Structure 1
Amino acid sequence: MTQRFYITKNLDVFEFDAEKEWGYPRHKHHFFELTFVLKGSGKHVLNESVIDYKEGDLFFLTPKDEHEFIIGEPTKFGVVKFTEQMFLEKATFSTSTYWRKNLEAVIFHRNIVAKSVISCATDKEQLFRLYHLIKSELHSPLTYSRNVLSELFGALLIILSRNLKSTLKNSGHVYDKNKVDLILTYIRQNVQNKELIKVDVIAETFHLSPNYVGIFVKKHTGISLQRYIMETKIKIAENLLKQSSLSVGEVAEKTGFTDSSHFNKTFKKYTGKNPSEYQGDK
C-alpha cells in the first residue's frame, strides 16, 4: 500500500545521500516537492512511468503523484518541499495575474510527463542556484529572511513553470487529453448549477479563452461543448425520472431548464421519449 508523507512547515529544504537504497517506500505527499539530483544516477518511478535519472535532473511532484527512486550510482538529493499555502501566500501578495492563472495551470495538475522538468539548459543553472540560495537563507536566517525567501521561491516557481510548459508543449496531445478530461469531469459535477457551467466560467477555471473552450472540447471529443452539457443534463434527468418521486416540472427545474415545455421538447429530441414515459417505467 502506498504511504503518504506529511510536513509541518510551509517551506522546507533538506539534502541526503543514498548510497545503495533511497531509504523510503513508494509514497505520495500532502505537499509539493522539487527533487534536485545533485550527483549520482539510477531510475525514478513516477506514477506509471519508470525513467533514468542523472546528475542535474529536477523532478516536480504534486500531491497527486506517487514515486520512488531506485539507486544506481551513489546519489545526493536536494529536496524543496512546500505546501499549497506557500503558493497561495505568494499569489496573494503578487499584483501579477500570472500567478493566479498561468502558473497554477501547470503547478496543480498530476504529472503526465515523468522525465526531468528542465527543458532549457540556461534555466538549469538558475534553478540549481536558486535551490542553494533558498537552502542557505532557510538554514541561516537573517533580517528580512521571510521576504527574501518569498522572492526566491517566487523566482523558482516561475522558472519551473516556464520549463513545465515547454515540456508539456512537447507532449501536447497527452496534456490536452488530461485537460479535456478535467473539463468534462467539471461539467458532470456542476451541470445542475447553470452559473458554474457558463462558457466564461469554464474558460476562467481552466485558463482558456472563452472563444476557444468550445473549439478545444469539440477537437478532442467530437461533440460541441453545449451538446455535451445538454447530454449530461438529459442523463441526469433520466435518472431522476426513473429513481425519484419528483414531477416532470421539478426535474426540469433541477436540471436547469427554463420551463417544462422546453424540457419536454429537448428531452424527446435526445431520447425519443417523453419524460412521462420514463416515469411510467418505474
Structure 2
Amino acid sequence: MKRYILHTPFNIYHFEASTWMHAVHKHTYFEIIFILRGQGIHNINGNTFDYGEGDVFLLGPEDYHHFSIHEVTEFCFIRFNDSIHMHPTEGKDLPWQPIIKALLTTSSQSRGTLVVDKQEKLKLHHLRTVLEEEYKRDQSPYFASIRDSLLRSMLLILARNLFGQSPASALTKDSVEAILLYIRQHIHQPGKLGIDHLADVFHYAPAYISLFFKKQTGESLKQYIIKHRIKLIEARLLYSHLTLAQIADEFGYTDESHFCKQFRKYTGSTPSAFRRRT
C-alpha cells in the first residue's frame, strides 16, 4: 500500500474533484479533512461512511482510506506532523496537551465524520477559513504562532466532539464507541482489557467481541489495545521526564524488562533509543 509523505511540518491542500485519483493509501502525518460541498462515500480502514457538506474527518498515520465521489466534491485537507503543536514546558503538560495527545493517539474512525452538530461544524469551518487565509502569508514571522493556535483550537473542538459523550448518554452499551471509551479509560489497567474481561463487561462471547470490533474498526481488538498503549507511551517518552521504570509501572507492566521488550517488538526501537531521537 502506498504511503504519502509530508516533507514540511504543515500544508493545506484545497481542491475539487469529480473522480478520486488516488489509490488506497496511508500517510506519515495527520490530516483533518473538510468536505465543503458534494457527497459520496469515504472508505476508511475497510469501513464505508457516507459523506456530505460540512463533514469533518481526522486521519492518523496508520489509517488508510480513499473516496468514492458521487457528486463533485470540494475538499480541504489540513496536513500536519505532530511536532508542530506539542511543545514541552519545563517537563509539565499544559492543560490542552493531554487532550490533544489523547485525540491523536485514539482511533476515531469507527464513526465517520467526527462532528454532527451544525454549530460545531460551523465553528470548525470558520477556523479553517481563517487558517487558509493565514497560510497565504506563511512567510510572516507571526504565521507559525497563529497556525499553531488555530490548529490547536480545531483539535480541541474535535476532541470535545469525540470524547464529550458519556456512556450514560450518547453511547449505547453495545456500540463500538462504548468499547473504545472503556479501553481509553482503562488503558493503564491491563487486567481489565483482556478479551474475556471485555466480553463479560459488554455481554458478548469472547470470540464474538473480537469479530465485532474488527468489523467495526478494521483492526483486531488486541492489536488496537497494544497500539493505543504504545502511542501513549511514545508521548510519555517524548514529552515527560518519567523514568522507564515509572512509565512501565504507570501502564501496568510487571517490570521494566517486559515493558522494554514489548515496546521494541512493536516499534523496532528500545524506549531509550526512541527518547533519544528528540
TM-score by length of 2: 0.62
Question: 2 CA distance for matches of 1:98 and 1:123?
Answer: 21
* Number of aligned positions between the proteins: 200
Q: Is 1:80 matched up with 2:78?
A: yes
Q: Which residue pairs with 2:35 in the alignment?
A: 37
Per-residue deviation, residues 23-45 of structure 1 (Å, max 9, x unmatched): 11111100000110011000000
Match of 2:151 among 153, 176, 183: 153
**Mapping 1:11-50, distance limit 5 Å:** 11-19=10-18, 21-50=19-48
Give the whole-Å Cα distance in 1 for the aligned partners of 2:154 and 2:12.
13
List gaps (5 residues or longer) in structure 2.
172-176, 191-225, 234-243, 262-278
> Aligned partners of 1:194 and 1:77: how far apart in 2?
46
Structure number with higher helix proportion: 1
Q: What letter matches 1:175 in structure 2?
A: L
Structure 2 Cα separation of the partners of residues 131 and 114 of structure 1: 22
Inter-partner Cα distance in structure 2 for 1:164 and 1:52? 18
Residue 123 of structure 2 corresponds to residue 133 of structure 1: no
Match of 1:175 in 2: 181
Say whether 1:104 aligns with 2:101: yes
How much has 1:93 moved relative to structure 2? 9.7
Contact in 2 for aligned 1:119/1:166 (Cα 8 Å): no
2:62 and 2:189 map into 1 onto residues whose CA distance is: 17
Unaligned 5+ segments in structure 1 are 203-224, 237-282
Classify the secondary structure of the residue corresponding to 1:12.
strand
Question: Does the CA-based 8 Å contact 1:62-1:109 persist in structure 2?
Answer: no
The amino acid that maps onto 2:180 is V
> Are 1:117 and 1:167, in contact at CA under 8 Å, matched by a contact in 2?
no
Which is greater in Rg? 1
- Distance of 1:58 and 1:166 partners within structure 2: 16
2: CA distance between counterparts of 1:178 and 1:61? 18
Report the TM-score when normalising by structure 1. Answer: 0.61
Give the superposition deviation at 1:69: 0.5
> Does the 8 A contact of 2:44 with 2:109 survive in 1?
no
Does the residue aligned with 2:95 lie in a helix, a strand or coil? helix
Give the Cα separation in 1 of the matches to 2:129 and 2:90. 24
What amino acid sits opposite 2:20 in the alignment? W
State the superposition RMSD in angstroms: 3.2
**What is the rounded CA distance, in whole Å, between the counterparts of 2:189 and 2:12 in structure 1?**
35
Could you say if the C-alpha distance between residues 181 and 165 of structure 1 is closer, same or farther in structure 2, counting changes exceeding 3 Å? Answer: closer
Distance 1:129 1:162 in 2: 17
